[in-house]
Structure 1
Amino acid sequence: MSRERVILFGLSLVIMAGTAAWLVKARSQQRLGAPGVRVVREPILDETGAVAARQSVYLPPVLLDGESLPLPITRLELDWLPPDTTYGRRQYRWPGKPDIQVSVVLMGGDRTSIHKPEFCLAGQGWAFRESEIEETSIPVPKPFPYQLPLRKIVATSTVGEAQRGFYVFWFVNDREISASHGGRMWSQALHLLRTGEMERWAYISFFARCLPGQEEATWAWLRQVIAEAAPLIQIPPAAAAPARNRAG
């Protein structure tokens, strides 16, 4: 081996060792940020009725005069996601309106709690094309007016009777809201490098199904429910507040 190659090899080892040492130090000094959702001391159950966790993400028991029931967390999720993941899940019902399932997954110190949502939908018997994915927003009136960015997927069932499904989701922490999985990851990496704090993101999703031809009415109803539910589920991020409120 030539002298130049020996030097380059040695420099590479030094750089790799330095990078590894920096990563270890950064992880040891890493702080976990505050969540953008409300965590309460209410247990959540698994599919067998056993207590899966002693705390959960708060979801209101009543929305727009409808009723709801808590839903269990599947054993697959509990085994697959990190043990410090916090969950919230409810099914909401109204007479003459589509049922809506609301789910929240809140990461702990392990960022892998939050994964790409499209994978879940495809794995549950729903198919969709790229053209059926839309990034949009809806107005939320409380506690101050702001636009809630979200991603909407309109899917078609691949099992059983013909159905259409609306899967709507976004991500939130204590500082910001994002409808983009990639944007969330980029924000998390930059914030960690700048401050040493790991943003604690939550992934909020709403799901409603309907018969073909009922899509327009179902989407209008879903928008109404989300606008009512969002202020009760998430803590409004500072980035969404009017400038005068942030200054105060």
Structure 2
Amino acid sequence: MPGKPGTCRLQVRDLGVTLEGESILRDITFQLNCREIMALIGPNGAGKSSLFRSILGQIPYSGSIQFQLAGGYPSHPKIGYVPQSPSFDRGYPISVLDFFAAAISRWPVFLPVPGHLRDKVTECLARVHGEALIQKRIGTLSGGELQRVLLALALEPIPQILILDEPLSGVDVGGEHLLLDMLDEIRQKYDLSILFSTHDFSTLRHYADKVILLQQAILKVGTPGEVLHSPEFQAVFHLNLGEEGGCAQ
């Protein structure tokens, strides 16, 4: 169920980013409502990660980024962030339990995890149906399993906005749909907004409420159908998409 303009929202106005004298982003304006899933698409180097880093407060920017609660009151939102999948050495010995416990409590990975902290990790993993992963070694996780662990970490504590940078990268087709179904479940259960980037256009029609086509500036914003069938999309990606979002010959 997509959000409504009258509820809480993230409002980005006239955002610009310049790094080392080079213009990375310019004139970025959009609104993300509560319970909305918004997809960010664009070619490599379009500025998607820089936009995320601006919202996270990691790089300087011009313009404004505001979050408002229902009733129009400005607020500082809790933001959960899932970066592009990091790679782990397959022989890395620590378990998901060790990794998660260290991340949320700074518990040393070389010490046994106490019972109360194990219970907390189990509770967090349950939010993404990942309890069975708790004893697996981080280095042996599949792409989809690793995304579940990182997503569970981003949901502790429960944020108001969840940002995911290429969450489908390294995930097989079956895993993609499981992950996207989970994101849809999470946004409804916890009443949060989701902003994610992707190069997989075939899933947008079924999972995204809005799509932004970005190439340093916003070229097109709208429903998946409006963006994927736009002249702007065809000019950027040189693709003609059929009705279901697949590539047409």
TM-score, normalized by length of structure 2? Answer: 0.29
Greater gyration radius:
1
- Return the structure number with greater strand share: 1
Q: Which has the higher contact order (CA 8 A, sep 6+)?
A: 2
TM-score, normalized by length of structure 1? Answer: 0.29
